[in-house]
Amino acid sequence: MHSARAQEPSRGLRQNFSFLPSSSEAGGSASALLLLLLPAGVPVPPDPGCRMRPPCAAAPPVRVLRLGRAAYLDSLAAQGRCVRRHREASSSEAPHRLLLWEPSGPVFTVGLRGLDARRASAESESEERRLRALGAGFERVPRGGLATFHGPGQLVAYPVLDLRRFGLPVRGYVAALESVAVAACRRLGLPQAAALPPPYTGVWLRGRKVCAIGIHCGRHITSHGLALNCSTDLTWFDHIVPCGLEGKEVTSLSRELQRHVSVEEATEPFLAAFQEVFKCTLMEGSTAEN
């Protein structure tokens, strides 16, 4: 990511993430990229569910597009269409979107920090062949960060937002995403979800990582997002060093709560937290919109 000065996060939102070189937030065509894991935010009381608020003039509307179980490349294509439509519309007319999906199959992804051009191509190709031989996909994607895994049992959220409409710089946006994921964990019965100091940024439960974020932001429009492990097969993570953190375990909501937590169960607490943190109006959208 190319970097210029990034503004400080909004007051009251915790800053705790690694920032890659990013583009100027003042505009232009360069992109801002980063990878982090969600840290803890302000405690949020349990919520019985997510009742979407009626439209409010003061709250930017966000359309929730539920893709269900989807192939990784299909979800990227849907996200790309949303980003293009957002950029083609005027900033006052473009609807914000929140894509929610669950990967239909296993796939390893590598962000820009994992695509070091100085590495020998033979080494990179060998690593790709090794991971593909496990029966998983392998994709290089334009987001911040290193290697991670996506698979069934994950709640993946791709917000496509114009940060100017929310009055957020990139750092403030990331801090807001952090608060959303932490609040979702706590609503699901994990009040101990907490952050560790850098470089161990993120949501950690008893020393194990439960959620990661890798975003892209270009011309103020966000893409990519976060992945929350609900009932993910954690053995896939044994084949990589997730986010480059040596010796750190990965966990899931199911493992920590010692019961099965489906993506469906985690979705409504997540939406409730998103609506609260971003102070937005959530509206159900149609997949025909993407």
**Residues classed as catalytic:** 243
Q: 209-221 in b/e burial notation, b at 16+ Cβ within 10 A?
A: bbbbbbbbbbbbb
CA distances (Å), 9 to each of 12, 71, 178, 190, 277, in order?
8, 34, 12, 25, 14
CA distance 16 to 165: 24
Say if residues 48 and 268 touch (Cβ distance below 8 Å).
Answer: no
Say if residues 36 and 18 touch (Cβ distance below 8 Å).
Answer: yes
What is the helix (H) or strand (E) element at residue 243, kind and residue range?
A: none
Chain centroid, CA 103 distance in Å: 14
**HEC letters along 144-164:** CCCEEEECCCEEEEEEECEHH
Say if residues 275 and 50 touch (Cβ distance below 8 Å).
Answer: yes
Rounded to 5 degrees, φ, ψ at 175 are: -60, -35
Say if residues 277 and 268 touch (Cβ distance below 8 Å).
Answer: no
Omega cis (within 30) before 199 = yes
